[in-house]
Structure 1
Amino acid sequence: MKTRFRNRVVVVTGAAAGIGRQLCLRFAQAGAWIVMLDLKQEPLDALGNQLMVKHNTKALGLVCDISDPDAVAQAFDRILDQFGGIDLLINNAGIVHRSAFVDTELEVFRRVMEVNYFGSLYCTKSALPSLLERKGMIIAMSSMSGFAPLWHRSGYSASKHALHGLFDCLRVELAESGVQVMMVCPGFTATDIRKNALRADGSIRGEPFPWIGDVASAVDVAEDVFQGALKGKRLLVLSNVGRGSRLLYRFFPQLFERLVSARLSGVGDQKS
């Protein structure tokens, strides 16, 4: 178990910061060869150097907008040329908006879906032949929004629900192939995703919106994902808030909705 990922090729999207960065560090610590996809080369190079020096592993950082299917295809062709295959794909990249549905421009919904859903679809489609050959694994980073509504996140929640539909079906299709599929639903996590959230007009907020409740560290989330991958888990819900929300919304949806409205309707709305 402890050597499962040694000399295995792990591809991480949204790798330069937050949970993605910590996933790269954790799997490199386990001896994996890391391929990092993100939008800017400089932070990818810095992280790649850290991985090679600190963990003595192979690392490659590629600039890739995962919402562009041609860019994804080119990136994965290069990965296959350089490493010969892919053993684990972690669909981590994502964006969020915080804005009321009635005020949110259509382009914001489109952009969130392009990155969160179609980006994961494009990467999985490109990686799947190699994953089938190597009997590898796919990890999709979702959210508690994938199973319960959150205030002013209609587009984000829709994208996460779509991820669950896609990867739950894919797990069924791949059941006899040896390829595993794991969905991960972190709770509120201390990353820059809140600061980079989109407003109703598509502009970047530039400051984090507030959250209620405990906030996990990206390091702890990455460790939980790593341990779940070792054990071949199907679903990880990583916070007490997430687990409680999943059960409460499933069995008492109206109560959950009232609680969400009561606790979150007035938080940070002046900056939405």
Structure 2
Amino acid sequence: MYRKLLASRVFERQVALISGGCSGVGRTLATRLAQAGAPLALLDLDPSALEGLVEHLVDHHNAEVLGVPCDVTDAQAVERAVALLGERFGGIDLLVCCAAVGHRGAVLDSDPEAFRQVMAVNFFGALHCARAALPSLLARRGQIVAFGAPPAFSPPRPGYGAEVASRQALHGLFETLRREIAADGVNVMLVCPGTVADDPDGEVPSDDDTPSAQEIAEAIFQGALRRRHLLVPSGAGWRTRLLARLAP
């Protein structure tokens, strides 16, 4: 029983910051980390959703949680949120960049503004969070989790140009960052789930290999424990990667 209790609290006193923490994978991962004893800081645009999630995590998991309404496209707002987190918890051990938006439409049919909006959230939002959190992560030899996508190493699906572009840009950014800070003891893990089965828009086709938000969150949790570099939590994702290497 004692050993089981220790195993269940593997993130005790390891502070986790999750952007986009009120929905999808972010929310599910927040619950999983709370169960493992991690103090949490959650960033989201929706103050009422934040309030409800914080109350739930405190009441049901006895978690220590700070919810901060924040637009991750605003670098100064992210800096302020991270400063609040530092005052509350003293630092950051794990940054998970979950805040993201999607866009469906052919490249020629999509307004350039749609591409700017997707890049502002998916790419620059993650960049702002990483830059703000890095001083603390370096001091505590922590780790960053960011979302790439199988199209970063395999043929992309037509009609998702803006999202694919943002994910491929994230891949390049965080692969480069990993190499820049590896000697300082900070790990960077890229998560490439592709399609999520319970996508909130309900428009993305799925199959038996499509992971749910729950499955992705658990895979991230286990990957963070092992400080992995790359996580592809679906059989189809790994097969696509192998096929792309053998027959590009």
Same fold (TM over 0.5): yes
Matched, 1:177 2:172: no
Matched, 1:50 2:50: no
Name the count of aligned residue pairs: 240
Give me the TM-score of the superposition, normalised by structure 1. 0.84
Q: How far apart are the structure 2 equivalents of 1:234 and 1:188?
A: 20
Equivalent of residue 154 in structure 1, options 136, 158, 161 = 161
How far the C-alpha of 1:166 sits from its partner, in A, is 0.7
Any conservation in 2 of the 1:187–1:241 contact (CA below 8 Å)?
A: no
Q: How far apart are the structure 1 equivalents of 2:145 and 2:80?
A: 21
Which amino acid in 1 is paired with 2:219? D
- The aligned residue for residue 211 of structure 1 is 205
Q: How far apart are the structure 1 equivalents of 2:66 and 2:172?
A: 31
* SS at structure 2 position matched to 1:174: helix
- The aligned residue for residue 133 of structure 1 is 139
How far the C-alpha of 1:212 sits from its partner, in A, is 4.1
Any conservation in 1 of the 2:195–2:204 contact (CA below 8 Å)?
A: no
Matched, 1:239 2:245: no
* SS at structure 1 position matched to 2:137: helix
Q: How far apart are the structure 1 equivalents of 2:161 and 2:100?
A: 15
Equivalent of residue 249 in structure 1, options 225, 244, 248 = 244
1:79-228 paired onto structure 2 within 5 Å: 79-148=85-154, 149-193=156-200, 195=201, 208-214=202-208, 215-228=210-223
Any conservation in 2 of the 1:7–1:31 contact (CA below 8 Å)?
A: yes
Q: How far apart are the structure 1 equivalents of 2:115 and 2:245?
A: 25
Q: How far apart are the structure 2 equivalents of 1:139 and 1:159?
A: 16
Q: How far apart are the structure 2 equivalents of 1:68 and 1:139?
A: 20
Any conservation in 2 of the 1:145–1:156 contact (CA below 8 Å)?
A: no
- Consecutive unaligned residues of structure 2, counting only runs of 5 or more, are 1-5
Any conservation in 2 of the 1:11–1:88 contact (CA below 8 Å)?
A: yes
- The aligned residue for residue 32 of structure 2 is 26
Give me the TM-score of the superposition, normalised by structure 2. 0.92
Which amino acid in 2 is paired with 1:127? A
Any conservation in 1 of the 2:197–2:206 contact (CA below 8 Å)?
A: no
